[in-house]
Amino acid sequence: MNCATVKEWMPHYIEGTLSPEVELNIRLHIEACPDCASWLEEAEGLAALWSEMEAGLDTLEPMDCPDLTEGVMAQIGQLEAGRRERAVRATMARRRTAPGTSWMHYGVAVGLTFLLLQFGVFENLAYGISEINGQMSTSVTAWFNAQGGHK
């Protein structure tokens, strides 16, 4: 039997729920392996500690704890009311400034357009668009004729 198997079956060995043959094999391994022997000692100590804790739970009396529910719920209500009030104020402020902001955007766009026209950025734009339309028209006409269409 190897150490991994012994460590896996250790809780059952401590509880005494294994078959006699498996229990004998584990005991022989533990006697020959100091690592598993210390593992068994530690596991037995933890099992004893756990048993003591379980026995102590039966003798405990319920503690008299204050009821915090009402106070906590009141605080949550105050926080929620504050959050709603801030949300309403933020929404109202946004609604007042949104129309002014959109007009400001339009004004900036118009100003940039006039500036670009002044510098001649759009000077050759009409020629470029006419050139593209002519090329597309020629290619569509060629395709249509290739499909057997009429001129």
Q: What is the CA radius of gyration of the chain?
A: 43
CB 40 within 8 A of CB 30: yes
Query: Residue 120: left if φ>0, alpha if ψ -120 to 50, beta else—which one?
Result: left
User: What tens digit of pLDDT does each residue of 48-83 get?
Assistant: 888 888 777 666 566 677 778 888 889 988 988 888
**Calpha distance 63→68 (Å, rounded):** 14
Tokens of 59: 């003798």
Q: Is residue 99 very low, low, confident or very high in pLDDT (cuts 50, 70, 90)?
A: low
**Res 28: pLDDT:** 93
Look at 8 and 127; give whichever has higher pLDDT: 8
CB 60 within 8 A of CB 47: no
CB 28 within 8 A of CB 13: no
Q: Is the pTM of this model over 0.75?
A: no
